[in-house]
A and B are shown apart, each in its own frame.
Chain A
Amino acid sequence: MSVEATIVRHKRREQATPGGTHDRLIHVLLIALPIGIGVLVALMILAPLSTGGEVSFLLDRNEVDLTENRMTVDNAMYRGADDEGRPFSVQAGSAIQRSSEVEKVEMNDLTARILLAEGPAVLTAQEGTYDYSQDTVDFPGAVNFTAADGYRMIARNVSVLLDERKLVGEGRVEGRIPSGTFSADRLEADLQERTVSLIGDARLRMEPGALKTP
């Protein structure tokens, strides 16, 4: 036989001799492996019982953080029907209802839509408080009313009665309609008939030649 073959055979014989490297390896494994299995089994049994890793706490009702807003809604939409059964809707960027007893919802970036004879009309305002028990919206600031045919009215410090399609204002109100700008102590406006009654120290300014859009 060739020299390499004899060398290979000699190495194998050396490895296979009792007490060689292979035997020592097997002896070590003979002990290590069963111990490993035992440890693993022990871990699998004991692990769920031990409470070390668990996350648990006691919820204490008094210490929990209370939010004062009872209900905050984004893109809120409220629907209803006016006294002639025609639908109206009040939509807001964000709406906050302070508490469930108060049936008022404070709204920002508000759009109210009502239906008039000529078609839908829109009231938009930066902020308003919608009272859904009486179907009214109070506008501390300005409200823009735009009718289907482009008729526009701007009024300040007024409220809209959605079911009667009317604007009413108690404190000093002011505003603008196509024919001029006005202010008065009290205001009652019928959005359908487009009449505005100004009561108490009423002022009106008409500018002949002024263009139609208020």
Chain B
Amino acid sequence: QTIAGFNSNQPVDYAADRIELQDRADRVVLSGNVVVNQGDLRLAAGRTVVNYTNTDALRIQRITATGGVRVTRGNESARGNVGVYDFNRRIITLVGDVALKRGTDTLNGGRLIIDLKTGVSSVDGQSAGSSAATGGDGTTTDNRGRVSGSFSVPSE
């Protein structure tokens, strides 16, 4: 159970090989081993697109990451082909050959939803279209929408 109540209004730091700031389109395109840090949340990906609105104050709408996404927070780390961090609903959705590791427990499946408000991460089978379609890195274990996981009971 990771700590709940993540504040999505903390400053967000990006690092990448190349960043294209497109102010008129209210968009930032980052490419080349992109690392996004916000508080203790870290998202690494091949390419990300950040959409924001800047009418009176800056509000980030969402971050779309592709090209192999890895999200780590506290002792929880998740991996997937494509990820979307929705700042308004404060959830991170990973799709495509998803693997979630928390401590020693692992969970695999088609789609993972990390709810930053409650700290609950849920994996479900249907991967919104076959995981391969979203440009996964080839070796996808297509377990026909089933979730598999392994949990270790802490031995006293």
Question: CB < 8 Å: which of B21, B50, B57 contacts A198?
Answer: B21
Does the CB pair A195–B21 fall under 8 Å? yes
Given A197-B18, A200-B17, A201-B17, do A211 and B11 touch, yes or no (CB 8 Å)? no
* Residues of B49-105 contacting chain A, CB below 8 A: 50, 52, 54-60, 87
Q: A193-B24, A197-B18 are in contact. Are A179 and B58 (CB under 8 A)?
A: yes
- B128 adjacent to chain A (CB < 8 Å): no
Residue of B11, B22, B24 touching A206 (CB-CB under 8 A): B11
Given known pairs A178-B54, A179-B52, A202-B17, the reply for A208 and B23 (CB within 8 Å) is no
Shortest CB–CB separation between residue A154 and chain B, in angstroms? 13
The reply to whether the CB of A148 lies closer than 8 angstroms to some CB of chain B is: no
A27 contacts B by Cβ under 8 Å: no
- Give, as a whole number of angstroms, the nearest-CB distance from B89 to chain A: 15
Size of A's binding interface in residues, CB under 8 A: 27
How far, in Å, is B52 (CB) from chain A's closest CB? 6
A183 vs B9: C-alpha distance when bound (angstroms): 22
- Count residues of chain B with CB under 8 A from any CB of chain A: 30
Task: List the B side residues contacting A196 at CB < 8 Å.
Answer: 20-21, 23
A195: contacting residue among B9, B14, B20, B52, CB under 8 A: B20
B23 touching A205, Cβ below 8 Å: no
B113 sits at the interface (CB 8 A): no
Is A202's CB under 8 angstroms from B87's CB? Answer: no
A180-B52 Cα distance, complex, nearest whole Å: 11
Q: Is the CB of B21 within 8 A of A207?
A: no
Complex interface: chain A residues within 8 A of B30 (CB): 202, 204
Q: Which 9 A-B pairs have the closest CB atoms?
A: A202-B19, A196-B21, A194-B23, A198-B19, A204-B14, A207-B11, A208-B9, A206-B12, A210-B58
